[in-house]
A and B are shown apart, each in its own frame.
Chain A
Amino acid sequence: MNIFITLTMLGIYIAGLAYAVYSNPLPEQSFEDFAVGGRSFGWQFITMTIIGTWYPGSLLIGWAQMGYDMGVTSTYLIFYTLGGLYIFFLICSPLWKLGKVYDLKTMGQLFELRYNSRSLRIFVGLVVLLVELPWIITELLASGYAIQAITYEKIPFNLGMTIIAVFFLLYVLFSGMRAVIIADYYQGWMFLIGGMVLFGVAVYHFFGGIGPMLMEVRDIQAELLTVPGPMSGWGGEAPGALFWPSLILMGMFGAYMWPSLFSRIFAAASTKELKESIRITPFVAPIFTLLILLVAIGASARPEFNTGDSAYALVNMISSMGPVAVATISILILAGALSMMDSMISSWSIVFVNDVLTPFFPNMSPKTQTTIARVFTVLVGFAGLMMAMTDLPTIVQLLTRVYQAIVQVFPAVFLGLIWKKGNKLSAWGGTLTGIIIVAYFAFTQPDYVPFLNGMQGGLIALAINFLVYVALAYVGKPENNVDELFIAIKTKDIDLKRLT
Chain B
Amino acid sequence: MGGTQIIILIAFILAIVIAVTTSNKIMRQNRDKKN
Task: Report the minimal beta-carbon distance from B18 to chain A, rounded to whole angstroms.
Answer: 5
If A40-B34, A324-B12 touch, does A189 touch B5 (CB 8 Å cutoff)?
A: no
- Chain B positions near chain A (C-beta within 8 angstroms): 1-2, 4-9, 11-16, 18-20, 22-24, 26-27, 30-31, 34
Further 9 A-B residue pairs, CB within 8 A, beyond A9-B9, A197-B11? A16-B20, A24-B24, A24-B27, A189-B15, A193-B12, A194-B12, A197-B8, A324-B1, A325-B8
Per-residue B-contact encoding for A177-192, CB less than 8 Å = 1, 0 else: 0000010011011101
Decide yes or no whether A328 CB sits under 8 A from chain B: yes
B4 & A201 in contact (Cβ 8 Å cutoff)? yes
Does the CB pair B19–A328 fall under 8 Å? no
Asked whether A322 lies within 8 Å of B24 as measured between CB atoms, the reply is no
Q: Closest residue to A190 on the B side, CB-wise? A: B15
Taking CB atoms, residues of chain A closer than 8 Å to B11 are 193-194, 196-198
| Size range of the chain A interface in the assembly | 35 or more
Please report the number of residue pairs spanning A and B whose Cβ atoms sit closer than 8 angstroms. Answer: 89
Q: Smallest Cβ distance from B23 to chain A, in angstroms?
A: 5
- With the chains together, A324 CA to B26 CA distance in Å? 30
CB contacts (< 8 Å) of A198 on chain B: these are 8, 11
- List, in ascending order, chain A residues with CB within 8 A of B27's CB: 23-24, 182
B9 touches A42 (CB 8 A): no
Q: Do A193 and B8 have beta carbons less than 8 Å apart?
A: no
Name the prevailing secondary structure of the A interface residues: helix
Q: Which 6 A-B pairs have the closest CB atoms?
A: A197-B11, A189-B19, A193-B15, A324-B5, A16-B16, A186-B19
Is A322 within 8 A of B20, CB to CB? no
Give the Cβ gap from B33 to chain A, nearest Cβ, in Å.
9
Closest to A332 in B: B12
Residues of A within 8 A of B1 (CB): 322, 324
Contact of B9 among A188, A190, A324 (CB under 8 A): A324
Task: Report chain A residues within 8 Å CB of B8.
Answer: 194, 197-198, 201, 321, 324-325, 328
Contacts of A325 in B (CB 8 A): 4-5, 8
Tell me if A45 counts as interface (CB < 8 A to partner B). yes
**A287 within 8 Å of B by Cβ?**
no
Q: Which residues from chain B contact A23 at a C-beta distance below 8 Å?
A: 24, 27
Once the chains bind, are A194 and B5 in contact (CB under 8 Å)?
no
A436 at the interface (CB under 8 A from B): no
Q: Is the CB of B7 within 8 A of A12?
A: no
- Using Cβ atoms and an 8 Å threshold, which residues of chain A touch B26? 42, 44-45
B5 A192 Cβ-Cβ under 8 A: no
A29→B12 CA distance, assembly (Å): 35
Nearest A-chain residue to B16, judged by Cβ: A16
Candidates A20, A192, A196; contact of B20 at CB < 8 Å: A20
Could you say which residues of chain A place their CB within 8 Å of the CB of B15? Answer: 189-190, 192-194
Contact A185 B16 (CB under 8 A): no
User: Does A258 sit within 8 A of B, measured CB to CB?
Assistant: no
Contacts of A182 in B (CB 8 A): 23, 27
- List residues of chain B with CB within 8 A of the CB of A154: none
Write out, one digit per residue, whether chain A residues 41-65 have a CB within 8 A of any chain B CB (1) or not (0).
1101100000000000000000000
Question: What B residues does A327 contact at CB under 8 A?
Answer: 12
Q: Is A490 an interface residue (CB 8 A)?
A: no
| Residues on the B chain within 8 Å of A9, using CB | 9, 12
